[in-house]
Amino acid sequence: MPLSDTTSPPVLERLLRTGDDPQRRIVFTGATIVTMDPALGVLDGADLLVQGRTITAIGHRLPRHGAVVIDATGTILTPGFVDTHRHAWQTQLRRIMPDVDDLGSYVTSTLAGHATAYRPEDMYAGTKLAALTALDSGITCMLDFSHNARTPAHSDAAIQALLDTGIRGVHASMAPHFGAWDNQWPGDLARLKDTYFAGTDHLLTLRLAALATEEIAGPRLAYGPELASAARELDIGVSVDAVFGGSSSAAVLRWAEAGLLGPDLTLIHATGLTPEAWAAIGHSGTTVALAPTSEAQIGLETAVPAIDEALAAGVRPGLSIDVEVALAGDMFTQMRALHAIQRMRAVNSAYGTGRRPSRITTHDVLDFATLQGARTNGLGDVTGSLTPGKRADLLVIQADDLNNMPLNDAIGTVVLGCDARNISAVLVDGRPRKWNRQVLDVDLPALRAEVHASREHILGPGAPRRGRVRGASD
């Protein structure tokens, strides 16, 4: 495209002015549309119609009368990416420990250390920064695993940050692992639901967050009958972190016996689980969120993302970012990491045997990052594919940029060629959140000052403020 134009008033101005009009119509024309809807596939030179907040039609030569028409020739339209697990409150500590060697080091420094210094305003700053940069890189839906709810005000601040950015957010609330807190969780979830999540027609949804076992932070945070009952009473889903190894495998089997598995439950990581645990997960329809770079880079249990195990059990997982204290924050990195790791393992395991490697495809990983992520977050009927009737959460990606042209395979280009600079527009619920490659409604100098001030408070006086520059001898 470019998205800028010489019409009066300009397209963006018209879209923003009519954003609350349920009859407002937008037609994107001439695009390559990667729907991620199995019934629709990929359409070349096609049109997409948005009315109000909803996708209403996809096809060729759609009627344009009365619509804001956007020439999308030379672009790829895709669903927005869906992040199924990110600890957004930590974002002002980005890459503070880029070479972390194990989970224990992260827990000690971040959860037992930095987390205890967080005020509500720090929760707000970190979560807001995470959500805005998620939007910049095409993530339109983000599950914020907010496990630093020291007071009700901490939770309020994290939720407000999601609201203020316009992202489709899932607030998954959990008490902190260590340090002083008000002991209001999980009881405070009822207040949060009544305050922020009443009704069904909202950008935000609520979940309960928990850990798999008591090994890290004690029994109070471990998923089991009591927390499952609390979630059922509130009619909300549950996301369980730190699911790995033998103790988590035993826990999964206990949950299966107690009837605590199912589609409303998401298990995060799932590395090193036993075949019996995977069978229970697959049989129950329990969802799984992988974090490919976290599992491989930090070294969680086996350090191998459990994609083969998930697929063998009939589970198509969602993808997630996890912790920006050590990892990249975009979905392109997650897709490429998983694609490369799984295919490497497949070929390596078949090498010299004469067997044909069973390799995932770029379509698979884009499916995990969109449609399956939405299902994992409990939003499969709302987002995750460009399907008429779903909300208009979509990306406009420049296919003729220097790093993408010429366009030969749309899905391959999105997964292997693109990055945030190629995303010229992001719509969430039919509203522009990024336009002409710029995230909207961001006062960058003010945000920068807010984030830096928060970091200074968290790290405390005398703490190092810049990363060490490494020499050749390191």
The CATH number linked to 339 is 3.20.20.140
Q: CA 143, CA 157: separation in Å to the nearest integer? A: 15
Q: Is 261 found in the same domain as 349?
A: yes
CA-nearest of 140, 137, 162 to 55 is 140
The CATH number linked to 392 is 2.30.40.10
Model pLDDT, residue 20: 85
How far are the Cα atoms of 34, 73, 352, 366, 446 from residue 410, in angstroms, in the given order? 7, 13, 34, 11, 38
Answer whether residue 156 shows pLDDT above 60.
Answer: yes
Model pLDDT, residue 3: 56
What's the gap between Cα 24 and its chain centre?
Answer: 28
Q: Is 354 found in the same domain as 228?
A: yes
**DSSP classification of residue 295:** I
Asked whether residue 282 is assigned to any structural domain, the reply reads yes
By mean pLDDT, which of 9-23, 94-108, 159-173, 367-381 is the weakest?
A: 9-23
By mean pLDDT, which of 89-93, 152-156, 462-466 is the weakest?
A: 462-466
Asked whether residue 445 is assigned to any structural domain, the reply reads no
Q: Is 393 found in the same domain as 282?
A: no
Tokens, residue 353: 């045997």
Model pLDDT, residue 34: 98
Tokens, residue 424: 């010229």
Asked whether residue 167 is assigned to any structural domain, the reply reads yes
322 bridge partner residues: 86
Model pLDDT, residue 466: 45
Asked whether residue 458 is assigned to any structural domain, the reply reads no
Model pLDDT, residue 18: 84
Q: Is 409 found in the same domain as 430?
A: yes
Full-model pTM: 0.95
Residues 9-50 pLDDT 10s: 688 888 988 888 889 999 999 999 999 999 999 999 999 999
Answer whether residue 226 shows pLDDT above 70.
Answer: yes
Q: pLDDT tier at 186 (50, 70, 90 boundaries)?
A: very high
Q: CA 323, CA 241: separation in Å to the nearest integer? A: 12
Side chain identity, residue 353: T
Q: CA 409, CA 294: separation in Å to the nearest integer? A: 29
Q: CA 62, CA 28: separation in Å to the nearest integer? A: 10
Domain boundary among 355, 376, 397: 376
Q: Is 303 found in the same domain as 264?
A: yes
The range of the structural domain enclosing residue 388 comes to 11-80+383-439
| DSSP for 208-269, written as a single string | EEEESSSTTT-GGGB-SHHHHHHHHHHT-EEEEEEEEHHHHHHHHHHHHHTT--STTEEEEE
Question: Can you give 92-105 as a three-state secondary structure string?
Answer: HHCCCCCCCCCHHH
Mean pLDDT confidence for 41-64: 97
Q: Is 85 found in the same domain as 65?
A: no
Q: Is 187 found in the same domain as 244?
A: yes
**DSSP classification of residue 292:** H
Model pLDDT, residue 5: 52
Model pLDDT, residue 463: 57
Q: CA 23, CA 222: separation in Å to the nearest integer? A: 47
Q: Is 222 found in the same domain as 326?
A: yes
Asked whether residue 461 is assigned to any structural domain, the reply reads no
Q: Is 21 found in the same domain as 99?
A: no
Q: pLDDT tier at 467 (50, 70, 90 boundaries)?
A: very low
Q: Which residues have CB under 8 Å from 438's CB, separation 6+?
A: none
Q: pLDDT tier at 357 (50, 70, 90 boundaries)?
A: very high
Domain boundary among 325, 342, 376: 376
Tokens, residue 363: 């379509």
Across the chain, what does the average pLDDT equal?
94
Domain boundary among 376, 399, 414: 376
**DSSP classification of residue 322:** B
Q: Using an 8 Å Cβ cutoff, are 410 and 42 in contact? A: yes
Mean pLDDT confidence for 224-248: 97
Mean pLDDT confidence for 462-466: 52
Domain count for the chain? 2
How far are the Cα atoms of 82, 134, 330, 362, 392 from residue 168, in angstroms, in the given order? 9, 11, 16, 25, 11
By mean pLDDT, which of 101-105, 305-309, 390-394 is the weakest?
A: 101-105
Mean pLDDT confidence for 364-385: 98
Asked whether residue 28 is assigned to any structural domain, the reply reads yes
Q: Is 221 found in the same domain as 103?
A: yes
Model pLDDT, residue 199: 73
**Helices 120-136 and 444-459 sit at what angle, rounded to 10 degrees?**
130
Model pLDDT, residue 462: 58
Which is more confidently placed, 101 or 54? Answer: 54
Asked whether residue 338 is assigned to any structural domain, the reply reads yes
Q: Is 256 found in the same domain as 110?
A: yes
Model pLDDT, residue 138: 98
Q: For 223, what's the count of Cα atoms within 13 Å in the CB-facing half-sphere?
A: 32
Mean pLDDT confidence for 224-228: 97
What's the gap between Cα 397 and its chain centre?
Answer: 19
Answer whether residue 8 shows pLDDT above 80.
Answer: no
Tokens, residue 13: 């101005």
Q: Is 195 found in the same domain as 335?
A: yes
Asked whether residue 456 is assigned to any structural domain, the reply reads no
Element (H, E) at 440: none
